[in-house]
Structures are given as C-alpha cells and as structure tokens.
C-alpha cells in the first residue's frame, strides 16, 4: 500500500512539473509576444542612423532609448531565434507602431536607407588636404574652411580638455595643419541637417579616442608620446602596405633614430612640398630644410608632425616594431619592400629594380 501511494505521489509530482513547465513556456511565449510587439500605435517617423561597424545587437540600446522597442532582452531573443541578414549602415525611418519583427525587417533591407544622411569615407593614409577635398565634394563645406578649422589654435586648445591624446605639440608653428594625423580614417555618417564642421570633427575625434585609448598603456611604455607615435605611424603608413612590412619599416626608422641618422623618407618630402606622390619634385624641394623634409641633410629625428592620418595597422607597427639590423628599405612598383643593412646593399637593390623596370624613384 505504501509503495502504491509513493508511486502515485511521484506520478502526481511529475505531472505537476510537466504542467508547470508548460505554463512557464506558455507564459514566456505570451510575454515574448507582448515584449516584441509595438511600443504604441504612434506612427510618427523616428530617424535611426546605423554607423559603420554596428550590428543588430550593438544598436539595441539606441532602439530602446528612442522608445522603438520595449525590451532589449526580448529584442535580442528575437534576433537569436530569427538570425536576420546583415544590417547596412545608413539612416532609416522607423516608428513606435512597428513590432520588433518589422523593425528588423526594415533594417535588413538596404532599399530602406533614406537619403537624409551624408556618408564621408576617408581611407587610410589620406592627409588633411585630401580629406578637405572629399568634404567639399560631398557637402557644402569648403575645403579651405576645414583646413582653417583644424589649424585654429583656439579650437585645438579647446579640444585638449576633452581628448587626452591632443597636446601642445599640435600647436607648433611649423605644423601645416594642427590636427593632421589625429583624424582617424573611417566611414562616417552624418544627418544632413546636422552637417557642420564641429559635428564632423567631433565624430572623427571621438573615433580616434575610441581607437587610441586601448593602446594608451603601450604608447606610454614605448618611450614616445602620442604625437611622436602618430608622426612615425604616418610615415610607416605611406611607406609600406602589409602589416609585416610596416613593422619592419618601423624597425628601420627606430634604428636610424637611435643612431642619429636622418630618416631619409621620400614621403615627407612630398608632404613638405604639398605635392602628390604622382608629381615630380624639383631639386630645391628635395633639398629644402623645413619641419617635415627628412631628406634634408641637416634634418635629424622625426618630422614636426604627422604627414597623413594613419591606420590602426600602422600605429600598431610603430608600437610593436620588428627588431632588425637593417637601416635601409625601398619599395618597387608592385609595392614589395626590400630591406638592406647598408648603403651598398641598398644601391644594389635599386640597380636591380631599374634593370627589371620596377624602379619608381
């Protein structure tokens, strides 16, 4: 009799657990349906801008702040269940009457991107003049106004309280454009009605802050300050293409710096003369002694400032250079870099490239 009662009790308990599980599932599904439904019946348009590098998960807090979703948690559960296609960066129009399913469907279709924004793309290694031309081409802002803004002493001083990486070195009177090298290359999206120099530069510098802050400790250990690192990275950016070549180029530059040599970098000469790399340099431009031209025989050490806006790859190469016994390098027409230990080896490589038709000097 006791055994039968025990079996009956176990069956009742098991049945209770099953019913409880069913109730929990039903309750969860009901709550899930409620929490992924529309926030309200308000169909007024809400503009949402998805930046490059964002995804459905990283924009969850923004959607919640704009009151477009009820719950970040259930929104993310929906994404786990449905696995939508990749999101395209741009500006979208959503509203509170849309369910999570409708919001995700809208964001997954690039045809829904609205022409209310301007996209500015600055590739790695562009200098301030090139960036200014892109801005003038894509907006109503004049290139000369952009260059004046990033060279304005009062403006730069105002930034020093906000950004740890901007220092008095950017105010050196020999520097062409104070924020050269500090404008991180990337794609930036701006609403047309908010497009002005302050907003453009704030967004770019916020991104620079985001990229440099994780490297702050390593920069401090390097023995060089941020300005020096960005300056050397800008040269490295333009002298080599691959990560491994850049790290070795940085190693060569450090060897020259430690031994009091001129860096002898052609890219600094072009920048000093304000010429494109495709243009010819005159003899006077090659020999000109100023704050940038490291080909000048009397120039020792780093240029007065960056000559371009370097990528994260170039910055990391300068922070973590390859240890090498080389003091020279040269690139061919196919961007392959050759490293040598002395002037004779260097000249032999140049002669070889000339014979092969790969010399670009």
User: pLDDT tens, 298-351?
Assistant: 888 999 999 999 999 999 999 999 999 999 999 988 889 999 999 999 999 999
The whole-number average pLDDT for the span 112-116 is 79
| Least confident stretch, 70-84, 193-207, 221-235, 311-325 | 70-84
34 has pLDDT over 90: no
Helices 72-82 and 100-107: crossing angle in degrees, nearest 10, is: 60
- pLDDT tens profile 152-206: 999 999 999 999 999 999 999 999 999 999 999 999 988 888 899 999 999 999 9
Cα 287 to Cα 353: distance, rounded to the nearest angstrom: 24
The pLDDT of residue 359 is above 60: yes
Residues 225-239 have a mean pLDDT of 97
According to the model, what pLDDT value does residue 110 have? 82
Please, which residues have CB within 8 angstroms of residue 179's CB and are 6 or more apart in sequence? 128, 150, 151, 156, 166, 170, 201, 205
Which tokens in the block code for residue 120? 């500015």
Q: What is the pLDDT of residue 1?
A: 47
In terms of pLDDT, which residue wins out, 77 or 242?
A: 242
HSE-CB for 67 with a 13 A CA cutoff: 10
Would you tell me how many other CB atoms lie within 10 Å of the CB of residue 279? 11
**Can you give the pLDDT at residue 113?**
84
Q: Quick one: DSSP state of residue 280?
A: P
Q: How many other β-carbons are positioned within 10 Å of the β-carbon of residue 346?
A: 18
Residues 6 or more apart whose Cβ sits within 8 Å of residue 157 = 171
Helices 197-212 and 312-319: crossing angle in degrees, nearest 10, is 40
Rg (the chain; Cα; Å): 29
Contact 298, 287 (CB under 8 A): no
Domains of the chain, earliest start first? 46-112 (3.30.1490.480), 117-213 (no CATH), 225-356 (no CATH)
Q: Which of 9-23, 94-108, 131-145 has the lowest mean pLDDT?
A: 9-23
Reported confidence tier of residue 28, pLDDT bands at 50, 70, 90: low
66 C-beta neighbours (distance < 10 Å), count? 15
Q: Band the pLDDT of 274: cuts 50, 70, 90.
A: very high
Query: 178 or 278: which carries more pLDDT confidence?
Result: 178
Q: Say how many C-beta atoms besides its own lie within 10 A of residue 155's C-beta.
A: 16
In whole angstroms, what separates CA 264 from the centre of its chain? 29
Cα distances (Å, whole numbers) of residue 253 to 126, 132, 279, 327: 21, 29, 25, 7
- β-bridge mates for residue 214, sequence order: none
């Amino acid at each position: 009799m006791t055994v039968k009662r025990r079996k009956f009790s176990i069956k009742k308990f098991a049945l209770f657990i099953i019913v409880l599980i069913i109730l929990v599932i039903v309750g969860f599904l009901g709550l899930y349906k409620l929490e992924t439904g529309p926030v309200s019946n308000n169909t007024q348009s809400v503009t949402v801008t998805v930046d490059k590098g964002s995804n459905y998960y990283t924009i969850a807090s923004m959607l919640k702040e704009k009151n477009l979703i009820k719950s970040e948690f259930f929104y993310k559960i929906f994404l786990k269940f449905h696995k939508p296609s990749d999101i395209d960066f741009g500006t979208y129009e959503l509203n509170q009457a849309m369910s999570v399913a409708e919001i995700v469907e809208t964001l997954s279709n690039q045809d829904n991107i609205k022409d209310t924004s301007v996209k500015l793309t600055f590739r790695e290694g562009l200098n301030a003049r090139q960036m200014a031309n892109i801005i003038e081409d894509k907006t109503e802002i004049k290139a000369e106004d952009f260059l004046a803004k990033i060279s304005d002493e009062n403006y730069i001083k105002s930034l020093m309280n906000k950004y740890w990486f901007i220092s008095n070195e950017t105010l050196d009177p020999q520097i062409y454009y104070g924020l050269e090298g500090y404008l991180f290359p990337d794609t930036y999206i701006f609403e047309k009605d908010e497009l002005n120099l302050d907003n453009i530069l704030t967004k770019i510098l916020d991104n620079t802050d985001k990229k440099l802050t994780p490297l702050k400790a390593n920069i401090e250990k390097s023995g060089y300050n941020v300005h020096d690192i960005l300056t050397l990275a800008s040269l490295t950016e333009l002298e080599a293409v691959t990560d491994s070549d850049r790290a070795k180029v940085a190693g060569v530059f450090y060897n020259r710096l430690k031994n009091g040599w001129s860096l002898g970098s052609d890219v600094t000469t072009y920048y000093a003369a304000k010429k494109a790399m495709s243009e010819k340099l005159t003899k006077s431009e090659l020999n000109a002694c100023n704050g940038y031209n490291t080909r000048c025989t009397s120039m020792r050490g780093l240029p007065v400032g960056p000559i371009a806006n370097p990528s994260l790859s170039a910055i990391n190469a300068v922070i973590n250079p390859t240890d090498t016994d080389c003091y020279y390098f040269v690139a061919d027409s196919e961007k392959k870099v050759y490293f040598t230990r002395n002037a004779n080896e260097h000249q032999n490589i140049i002669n070889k490239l000339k014979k092969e038709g790969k010399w670009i000097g």
